[in-house]
Amino acid sequence: MSLRSRITGTGMCVPDRVVTNADLVEMMDTTDEWIQQRTGIRERRWVEDGQKPSDLAFGATRAALENADLEISDIDCILLSTLSGEHDFPGTSFFLHEKIDAGDIPCIDLRAQCSGFLFGLQMADALVVSGRHRRVLVLGCEVHSTGLDKTTAGRDVSVIFGDGAGAVILEGTDAADGPGLLEVRVHSEGKHARRLWTEAPSSAAPVRLTHEMIDDRRIYPFMDGRFVFKHAVTRMPEVLLETLNAASVKLDEVDLFLFHQANLRINEFVAQKLEIPESKLVNNIQRLGNCSAAALPILLDEAAREGRLEAGQLVSLTAFGSGFTWGSAILRWG
Ligand code: UT7
Protein backbone atom coordinates (compact mmCIF):
# COMPACT_ATOMS: atom_id res chain seq x y z
CA MET A 1 0.00 0.00 0.00
CA SER A 2 1.49 3.37 -0.95
CA LEU A 3 1.67 6.01 1.75
CA ARG A 4 1.18 9.74 1.51
CA SER A 5 2.44 12.14 4.16
CA ARG A 6 0.12 14.59 5.84
CA ILE A 7 0.52 17.47 8.30
CA THR A 8 -1.39 16.56 11.45
CA GLY A 9 -0.24 19.36 13.74
CA THR A 10 1.28 22.84 13.56
CA GLY A 11 2.80 25.10 16.21
CA MET A 12 4.83 28.26 16.61
CA CYS A 13 6.66 30.25 19.25
CA VAL A 14 7.99 33.80 19.07
CA PRO A 15 9.59 35.83 21.86
CA ASP A 16 7.38 38.28 23.80
CA ARG A 17 9.78 41.17 23.20
CA VAL A 18 8.49 43.42 20.41
CA VAL A 19 11.11 45.54 18.64
CA THR A 20 9.52 48.31 16.58
CA ASN A 21 11.11 50.32 13.80
CA ALA A 22 11.21 53.23 16.26
CA ASP A 23 13.33 51.06 18.59
CA LEU A 24 15.81 50.47 15.72
CA VAL A 25 16.04 54.23 15.10
CA GLU A 26 17.54 54.44 18.62
CA MET A 27 20.30 51.98 17.57
CA MET A 28 21.22 53.07 14.02
CA ASP A 29 20.68 55.66 11.32
CA THR A 30 17.41 54.46 9.83
CA THR A 31 13.76 55.51 9.67
CA ASP A 32 10.40 53.83 10.09
CA GLU A 33 9.51 55.17 6.64
CA TRP A 34 12.54 53.56 4.92
CA ILE A 35 11.95 50.19 6.55
CA GLN A 36 8.22 50.12 5.82
CA GLN A 37 8.58 51.37 2.26
CA ARG A 38 11.36 48.94 1.30
CA THR A 39 10.29 45.88 3.28
CA GLY A 40 6.78 46.31 4.73
CA ILE A 41 8.09 45.53 8.23
CA ARG A 42 6.67 47.48 11.20
CA GLU A 43 8.03 45.37 14.05
CA ARG A 44 9.70 42.06 14.79
CA ARG A 45 10.28 39.85 17.86
CA TRP A 46 13.74 39.52 19.39
CA VAL A 47 14.70 37.20 22.24
CA GLU A 48 15.25 38.45 25.79
CA ASP A 49 18.75 37.92 27.22
CA GLY A 50 19.18 34.20 27.95
CA GLN A 51 16.33 33.00 25.72
CA LYS A 52 17.77 30.33 23.43
CA PRO A 53 16.87 28.93 19.98
CA SER A 54 15.95 25.60 21.59
CA ASP A 55 13.53 27.45 23.93
CA LEU A 56 11.65 28.73 20.88
CA ALA A 57 11.84 25.31 19.20
CA PHE A 58 10.50 23.78 22.41
CA GLY A 59 7.52 26.18 22.46
CA ALA A 60 6.72 25.42 18.81
CA THR A 61 7.05 21.66 19.38
CA ARG A 62 4.73 21.68 22.38
CA ALA A 63 2.14 23.66 20.45
CA ALA A 64 2.35 21.28 17.45
CA LEU A 65 2.07 18.19 19.66
CA GLU A 66 -0.94 19.67 21.44
CA ASN A 67 -2.52 20.59 18.11
CA ALA A 68 -2.05 17.01 16.86
CA ASP A 69 -3.13 15.57 20.22
CA LEU A 70 0.14 13.64 20.49
CA GLU A 71 2.95 13.10 22.99
CA ILE A 72 6.66 13.31 22.23
CA SER A 73 6.78 9.51 22.52
CA ASP A 74 4.64 9.41 19.35
CA ILE A 75 7.41 11.10 17.31
CA ASP A 76 10.10 9.00 15.58
CA CYS A 77 12.48 11.61 14.17
CA ILE A 78 13.26 15.36 14.38
CA LEU A 79 14.47 17.50 11.47
CA LEU A 80 15.30 21.09 12.43
CA SER A 81 16.29 23.71 9.88
CA THR A 82 18.28 26.72 11.04
CA LEU A 83 21.02 29.11 10.00
CA SER A 84 21.49 30.43 13.54
CA GLY A 85 22.54 27.36 15.52
CA GLU A 86 22.52 27.50 19.30
CA HIS A 87 26.20 26.44 19.36
CA ASP A 88 28.87 25.59 16.79
CA PHE A 89 28.06 21.95 17.46
CA PRO A 90 26.05 19.92 18.13
CA GLY A 91 22.98 21.20 16.31
CA THR A 92 20.06 23.04 17.92
CA SER A 93 17.93 19.92 17.45
CA PHE A 94 19.98 18.18 20.16
CA PHE A 95 19.20 20.87 22.72
CA LEU A 96 15.54 20.63 21.74
CA HIS A 97 15.81 16.84 22.06
CA GLU A 98 17.05 17.27 25.64
CA LYS A 99 14.30 19.76 26.52
CA ILE A 100 11.46 17.63 25.19
CA ASP A 101 12.93 14.44 26.63
CA ALA A 102 12.90 12.67 23.28
CA GLY A 103 14.50 9.41 24.47
CA ASP A 104 16.85 8.17 21.76
CA ILE A 105 15.00 9.10 18.57
CA PRO A 106 17.24 10.57 15.86
CA CYS A 107 17.46 14.31 15.37
CA ILE A 108 19.44 16.38 12.89
CA ASP A 109 19.93 20.02 11.90
CA LEU A 110 19.57 21.02 8.26
CA ARG A 111 21.29 24.08 6.89
CA ALA A 112 19.42 25.44 3.91
CA GLN A 113 18.73 28.92 5.30
CA CYS A 114 15.44 30.61 4.35
CA SER A 115 14.28 27.62 2.27
CA GLY A 116 15.26 25.23 5.06
CA PHE A 117 11.73 24.34 6.08
CA LEU A 118 10.91 23.09 2.56
CA PHE A 119 14.12 21.04 2.43
CA GLY A 120 13.11 19.55 5.80
CA LEU A 121 9.60 18.87 4.56
CA GLN A 122 10.90 17.08 1.46
CA MET A 123 13.21 14.89 3.53
CA ALA A 124 10.53 14.16 6.12
CA ASP A 125 8.15 13.24 3.31
CA ALA A 126 10.69 10.76 1.92
CA LEU A 127 11.19 9.22 5.39
CA VAL A 128 7.44 8.86 5.96
CA VAL A 129 6.50 7.64 2.49
CA SER A 130 9.29 5.05 2.51
CA GLY A 131 7.98 3.72 5.81
CA ARG A 132 11.29 4.51 7.58
CA HIS A 133 9.55 6.73 10.15
CA ARG A 134 5.90 6.95 11.09
CA ARG A 135 5.87 10.54 12.37
CA VAL A 136 8.49 13.22 11.82
CA LEU A 137 8.68 16.56 13.64
CA VAL A 138 9.85 19.22 11.15
CA LEU A 139 10.96 22.59 12.49
CA GLY A 140 12.35 25.92 11.38
CA CYS A 141 14.00 27.84 14.21
CA GLU A 142 15.99 31.08 14.23
CA VAL A 143 17.49 33.50 16.70
CA HIS A 144 18.91 36.15 14.39
CA SER A 145 18.95 39.04 16.80
CA THR A 146 22.06 37.97 18.73
CA GLY A 147 24.09 37.82 15.48
CA LEU A 148 23.15 41.11 13.81
CA ASP A 149 25.23 44.24 13.40
CA LYS A 150 22.90 46.70 15.12
CA THR A 151 24.94 49.75 14.09
CA THR A 152 24.42 51.85 10.95
CA ALA A 153 27.03 49.68 9.16
CA GLY A 154 24.64 46.72 9.29
CA ARG A 155 21.34 48.52 8.80
CA ASP A 156 20.49 47.06 5.38
CA VAL A 157 20.41 43.56 6.91
CA SER A 158 19.59 43.98 10.58
CA VAL A 159 16.27 45.81 10.16
CA ILE A 160 14.83 42.80 8.30
CA PHE A 161 15.35 39.90 10.68
CA GLY A 162 13.22 38.54 13.52
CA ASP A 163 13.41 35.55 15.87
CA GLY A 164 10.95 32.65 16.04
CA ALA A 165 10.27 28.96 15.58
CA GLY A 166 7.60 26.99 13.76
CA ALA A 167 6.89 23.26 13.74
CA VAL A 168 4.76 20.71 11.92
CA ILE A 169 4.18 17.02 12.46
CA LEU A 170 4.23 14.95 9.30
CA GLU A 171 2.77 11.48 9.36
CA GLY A 172 1.80 8.73 6.96
CA THR A 173 -1.71 8.20 5.65
CA ASP A 174 -2.85 5.50 3.25
CA ALA A 175 -5.70 7.60 1.85
CA ALA A 176 -4.07 8.22 -1.52
CA ASP A 177 -6.60 10.83 -2.63
CA GLY A 178 -7.15 12.49 0.76
CA PRO A 179 -5.36 15.41 2.40
CA GLY A 180 -1.57 15.44 2.31
CA LEU A 181 1.58 16.58 0.62
CA LEU A 182 1.23 16.40 -3.15
CA GLU A 183 4.70 17.58 -4.19
CA VAL A 184 7.81 19.35 -2.88
CA ARG A 185 10.57 20.65 -5.16
CA VAL A 186 13.82 22.24 -3.92
CA HIS A 187 16.91 23.66 -5.65
CA SER A 188 20.32 25.10 -4.80
CA GLU A 189 22.89 27.27 -6.57
CA GLY A 190 26.13 27.38 -4.58
CA LYS A 191 27.87 29.77 -6.94
CA HIS A 192 25.95 32.59 -5.23
CA ALA A 193 26.79 31.47 -1.68
CA ARG A 194 28.79 34.62 -0.91
CA ARG A 195 25.99 36.98 -1.98
CA LEU A 196 24.23 36.33 1.32
CA TRP A 197 26.37 34.83 4.03
CA THR A 198 28.18 35.15 7.32
CA GLU A 199 31.85 34.52 6.65
CA ALA A 200 33.12 33.97 10.18
CA PRO A 201 33.76 32.05 12.38
CA SER A 202 35.20 29.86 9.63
CA SER A 203 36.87 26.47 9.57
CA ALA A 204 38.40 27.56 6.26
CA ALA A 205 40.56 30.05 8.18
CA PRO A 206 43.75 28.95 10.01
CA VAL A 207 42.03 29.98 13.24
CA ARG A 208 38.27 29.87 13.29
CA LEU A 209 37.60 33.09 15.13
CA THR A 210 40.04 35.97 15.46
CA HIS A 211 39.85 39.51 16.81
CA GLU A 212 40.49 40.68 13.26
CA MET A 213 37.34 38.91 12.01
CA ILE A 214 35.35 40.69 14.69
CA ASP A 215 36.97 44.08 14.00
CA ASP A 216 36.32 43.67 10.24
CA ARG A 217 32.67 42.81 11.02
CA ARG A 218 32.99 39.52 9.13
CA ILE A 219 31.04 37.88 11.93
CA TYR A 220 27.88 39.66 10.76
CA PRO A 221 25.66 38.66 7.83
CA PHE A 222 26.44 40.29 4.51
CA MET A 223 23.82 40.58 1.79
CA ASP A 224 23.99 41.89 -1.75
CA GLY A 225 20.37 42.96 -1.35
CA ARG A 226 19.47 43.89 -4.91
CA PHE A 227 21.07 40.76 -6.36
CA VAL A 228 19.19 38.59 -3.87
CA PHE A 229 15.94 40.45 -4.57
CA LYS A 230 16.24 39.89 -8.34
CA HIS A 231 16.91 36.18 -7.92
CA ALA A 232 14.07 35.77 -5.41
CA VAL A 233 11.46 37.29 -7.73
CA THR A 234 12.64 35.02 -10.58
CA ARG A 235 13.14 31.73 -8.75
CA MET A 236 10.01 31.83 -6.58
CA PRO A 237 7.46 31.94 -9.45
CA GLU A 238 9.57 29.46 -11.40
CA VAL A 239 9.66 26.78 -8.69
CA LEU A 240 6.06 27.41 -7.65
CA LEU A 241 4.89 26.64 -11.20
CA GLU A 242 7.30 23.68 -11.51
CA THR A 243 5.81 22.18 -8.34
CA LEU A 244 2.18 22.73 -9.35
CA ASN A 245 2.92 21.27 -12.75
CA ALA A 246 4.52 18.17 -11.19
CA ALA A 247 1.40 17.71 -9.06
CA SER A 248 -0.98 18.40 -11.99
CA VAL A 249 -2.51 21.34 -10.12
CA LYS A 250 -3.48 24.54 -11.96
CA LEU A 251 -2.48 27.88 -10.49
CA ASP A 252 -6.08 29.07 -10.14
CA GLU A 253 -7.03 25.87 -8.26
CA VAL A 254 -4.77 26.85 -5.35
CA ASP A 255 -6.73 28.34 -2.44
CA LEU A 256 -3.92 29.90 -0.43
CA PHE A 257 -0.34 30.95 -1.23
CA LEU A 258 2.22 31.19 1.57
CA PHE A 259 5.47 32.90 0.57
CA HIS A 260 8.68 33.17 2.54
CA GLN A 261 8.62 36.36 4.59
CA ALA A 262 11.85 38.10 3.52
CA ASN A 263 10.41 41.29 2.13
CA LEU A 264 6.78 42.21 1.48
CA ARG A 265 7.85 43.83 -1.81
CA ILE A 266 9.24 40.50 -3.05
CA ASN A 267 5.92 38.81 -2.28
CA GLU A 268 3.90 41.56 -3.96
CA PHE A 269 6.16 41.28 -7.00
CA VAL A 270 5.76 37.48 -7.21
CA ALA A 271 1.98 37.68 -6.73
CA GLN A 272 1.71 40.31 -9.43
CA LYS A 273 3.85 38.30 -11.84
CA LEU A 274 1.63 35.23 -11.38
CA GLU A 275 -1.61 37.29 -11.21
CA ILE A 276 -2.49 35.86 -7.81
CA PRO A 277 -5.34 37.82 -6.18
CA GLU A 278 -4.58 39.41 -2.81
CA SER A 279 -7.41 37.42 -1.21
CA LYS A 280 -5.34 34.23 -1.70
CA LEU A 281 -2.24 35.56 0.08
CA VAL A 282 -1.24 35.79 3.72
CA ASN A 283 1.75 37.68 5.11
CA ASN A 284 2.95 38.33 8.64
CA ILE A 285 6.29 40.00 7.94
CA GLN A 286 4.75 43.32 9.03
CA ARG A 287 4.58 41.94 12.61
CA LEU A 288 7.39 39.35 12.70
CA GLY A 289 10.09 40.37 10.21
CA ASN A 290 12.08 37.71 8.38
CA CYS A 291 12.41 34.57 10.52
CA SER A 292 14.27 32.63 7.76
CA ALA A 293 13.64 28.87 8.10
CA ALA A 294 10.93 29.52 10.70
CA ALA A 295 8.92 31.89 8.49
CA LEU A 296 6.85 29.33 6.55
CA PRO A 297 5.88 27.00 9.43
CA ILE A 298 4.93 30.07 11.51
CA LEU A 299 2.82 31.44 8.65
CA LEU A 300 1.17 28.05 8.15
CA ASP A 301 0.37 27.76 11.86
CA GLU A 302 -1.09 31.28 11.97
CA ALA A 303 -3.17 30.64 8.84
CA ALA A 304 -4.52 27.41 10.34
CA ARG A 305 -5.34 28.97 13.71
CA GLU A 306 -6.91 32.06 12.14
CA GLY A 307 -9.31 29.88 10.14
CA ARG A 308 -7.74 30.70 6.76
CA LEU A 309 -7.42 26.99 5.93
CA GLU A 310 -10.35 24.67 5.39
CA ALA A 311 -10.16 20.92 4.96
CA GLY A 312 -9.71 20.02 1.30
CA GLN A 313 -8.14 23.34 0.30
CA LEU A 314 -4.97 23.46 -1.77
CA VAL A 315 -2.09 25.34 -0.13
CA SER A 316 1.13 26.36 -1.86
CA LEU A 317 4.31 27.24 0.09
CA THR A 318 7.31 28.87 -1.60
CA ALA A 319 10.67 30.19 -0.38
CA PHE A 320 13.99 31.62 -1.52
CA GLY A 321 17.14 32.24 0.48
CA SER A 322 20.86 32.14 1.05
CA GLY A 323 22.82 29.37 -0.60
CA PHE A 324 21.15 30.22 -2.93
CA THR A 325 18.28 27.86 -2.16
CA TRP A 326 14.67 27.88 -3.28
CA GLY A 327 11.71 25.55 -3.21
CA SER A 328 7.98 25.07 -3.23
CA ALA A 329 5.43 22.62 -1.84
CA ILE A 330 1.79 21.98 -2.66
CA LEU A 331 -0.48 20.22 -0.21
CA ARG A 332 -4.13 19.44 0.31
CA TRP A 333 -5.08 20.65 3.77
CA GLY A 334 -6.98 18.53 6.23
O1 UT7 B 1 15.58 35.99 3.52
C2 UT7 B 1 16.62 35.70 2.63
C3 UT7 B 1 16.47 36.41 1.36
N4 UT7 B 1 16.59 37.81 1.53
C5 UT7 B 1 15.95 38.62 0.71
O6 UT7 B 1 15.21 38.16 -0.11
C7 UT7 B 1 16.19 40.11 0.82
C8 UT7 B 1 16.35 40.70 -0.57
N9 UT7 B 1 16.74 42.11 -0.58
C10 UT7 B 1 15.96 43.11 -0.11
O11 UT7 B 1 14.89 42.84 0.38
C12 UT7 B 1 16.41 44.52 -0.29
O13 UT7 B 1 17.56 44.57 -1.10
C14 UT7 B 1 16.70 45.26 1.05
C15 UT7 B 1 15.40 45.57 1.77
C16 UT7 B 1 17.60 44.42 1.92
C17 UT7 B 1 17.40 46.59 0.83
O18 UT7 B 1 16.63 47.39 -0.04
P19 UT7 B 1 17.29 48.08 -1.31
O20 UT7 B 1 16.25 48.87 -1.95
O21 UT7 B 1 17.95 47.01 -2.13
O22 UT7 B 1 18.35 49.03 -0.64
P23 UT7 B 1 19.92 49.17 -0.89
O24 UT7 B 1 20.67 48.20 -0.06
O25 UT7 B 1 20.21 49.23 -2.37
O26 UT7 B 1 20.17 50.63 -0.31
C27 UT7 B 1 19.53 51.80 -0.87
C28 UT7 B 1 19.88 52.98 0.00
C29 UT7 B 1 21.38 53.12 0.27
O30 UT7 B 1 21.69 54.50 0.34
P31 UT7 B 1 22.30 55.29 -0.93
O32 UT7 B 1 23.58 54.56 -1.26
O33 UT7 B 1 21.28 55.16 -2.01
O34 UT7 B 1 22.48 56.66 -0.41
C35 UT7 B 1 21.55 52.50 1.63
O36 UT7 B 1 22.66 53.01 2.33
O37 UT7 B 1 19.26 52.85 1.29
C38 UT7 B 1 20.27 52.92 2.32
N39 UT7 B 1 19.87 52.01 3.39
C40 UT7 B 1 19.13 52.40 4.45
N41 UT7 B 1 18.62 53.59 4.78
C42 UT7 B 1 17.89 53.65 5.90
C43 UT7 B 1 20.12 50.67 3.51
N44 UT7 B 1 19.54 50.20 4.62
C45 UT7 B 1 18.93 51.25 5.22
C46 UT7 B 1 18.17 51.37 6.39
N47 UT7 B 1 17.67 52.60 6.69
N48 UT7 B 1 17.90 50.34 7.20
Q: What is the pLDDT of residue 1?
A: 64
Any catalytic annotation for residue 114? Answer: yes
Q: Which among 173, 202, 229 is the end of a domain?
A: 173
Number of domains the chain is built from: 2
What mean pLDDT is reported for the chain? 97
Q: What is the pLDDT of residue 3?
A: 86
Q: Which among 173, 205, 235 is the end of a domain?
A: 173
Residues 160 and 279 in one domain: no
Write the pLDDT tens digit of every residue in 63-78. Answer: 999 999 999 999 999 9
| CATH code for position 316 | 3.40.47.10
Q: Which of 13, 77, 290, 291 is catalytic?
A: 290
Residues 199 and 135 in one domain: no
Task: Give the closest residue (by CA) to ligand 1 atom 23.
Answer: 225
Count Cα atoms within 13 angstroms, Cβ side, for 50. 0
Residues 199 and 327 in one domain: yes
Q: Which among 154, 173, 192 is the end of a domain?
A: 173
Helix (H) or strand (E) holding 141: strand 135-142
Give me ligand 1 centre to Cα 158, in Å: 10
β-bridge pairing 164-173 and 135-142: antiparallel
Q: Give the largest Cα separation in the chain, rounded.
A: 60
Query: Could you tell me which of 248, 206, 266, 225 has the C-alpha nearest to residue 332?
Result: 248
Ligand 1 neighbour 226 (Cβ under 6 A): yes
- pTM over 0.95? The answer is yes
CA distances from 205 to 93, 209, 219 (A): 26, 8, 13
Residues 208 and 292 in one domain: yes
**2, pLDDT greater than 90:** no
Domain range enclosing 259? 180-332
Q: Which of 13, 77, 107, 114 is catalytic?
A: 114
Residues 123 and 156 in one domain: yes
Residues 265 and 167 in one domain: no
Residues 195 and 104 in one domain: no
**237, pLDDT greater than 80:** yes
Residues 52 and 110 in one domain: yes
Any catalytic annotation for residue 260? Answer: yes
Q: What is the pLDDT of residue 177?
A: 80
* % of the chain residues with pLDDT over 90: 97
Residues 252 and 104 in one domain: no
